[in-house]
Every structure is written in C-alpha cells, then in structure tokens.
Amino acid sequence: MKNWTRILVAFLLARSGAALAADDFEALTNRIVLLRCHMGGCGWYRIDESKLVGRSDKGALYELAVKFWNSKDTGKTTPPKKLENEESDTQFVFCSKVKPALIWKDEGKWVASPLEPGNEAAMAGATESAYAMYWAACHRAAVADVYSGGTRLARKLGYEFSGNAIPQDAPLSAPADVLKW
C-alpha cells in the first residue's frame, strides 16, 4: 500500500509541475518590437529585463525595464537604423489568461489597463501598442498585426475573450493589487 501511495504522490506532483510549466509566461527580451504605426511614424519597444514580482491563481505579475523609440514609418516590421527619442521606463504587466493587464503610473497614480487578447472589438488604434507590448512581455512574441495575428495567437494559447465590451482602466494603490483580483 505504501508503494501505491508513493506512486500516486509522484504522479500528482509530476502532473502539477507539468501544468505549471505549460502556463508559465516569458518575456521577449533584448529585441526591438514594433508597436503602432500612425500618421507617418512608428513606435518601437524593447524589454531589457523582466522580473517576476508575484503570482496568484489568475496569473503572474512582472516588472519590466523597457525602452521606447520613435521612427518614420518605413512600412517594415524590422527597426530602421535611425530610432529617435529614446525613453527608459519601468512598467508592470499582469500575464494572465483571464485578467491580463498593463500597469503604469498616470499622473502619479497606478492604473491597470485590462486587455482582452483575441477580442478584436476590444482593440482600437490607441491600444494596438498595448497588445504588442503584452505579447512581447508575456509570450515572447513580436506581433506586428495585433488584430489578426494577435487573435490567432490568442486562440492558440487558450485565451477566450470575445464580445463588444471594451475593458475600462482600473485604479490601483500599487501594481501588486492585481494579485488580489
């Protein structure tokens, strides 16, 4: 009987480890990713470092050291040689299949912008960059077309958002508040 108990415990531990590994998120670091192109210019983004801050049953919160640039719109998805207006920043992202969000400070207050990967109705011009950042920060993916390419990736990864509702920003006292969602 003791052998069966050991086998059962080993089996359950192996299954839970496999489930955790399948749900892990990972950032695409040290690669410049295209954000939104609009009115003759494009935004670019690079994650220099990604650090796990905490986990909950809904996802994982990461702190990101990032850089942003601008360029003229060349019609290409690879960065041009000349990137302008470099800015460094610290961002947070909540990688989650059920409550994904980008988190930043707005006028000194923390704000979470919920995302709905795969729900094209929730995406609008202003949020294209947010979805490109999310794919890079959580799934090591450079997604130039967040509408069709992002929708395909969302379905492949098991995101199940749909509908016409557009998620609203939520105030936070600190980025770690998302771990209580």
d(CA 24, CA 22): 6
Sheet of 101-106, strand order = 33-38, 41-56, 59-72, 84-95, 101-106, 109-114, 170-172
For residue 15, give its domain range: 2-180
Of the listed ranges 13-17, 57-61, 93-97, the least confidently predicted one is 13-17
164-173 average pLDDT score: 85
d(CA 77, CA 147): 15
* pLDDT tens readout for residues 89-129: 999 999 999 999 999 998 999 999 999 998 988 888 879 99
Our count of domains for the chain comes to 1
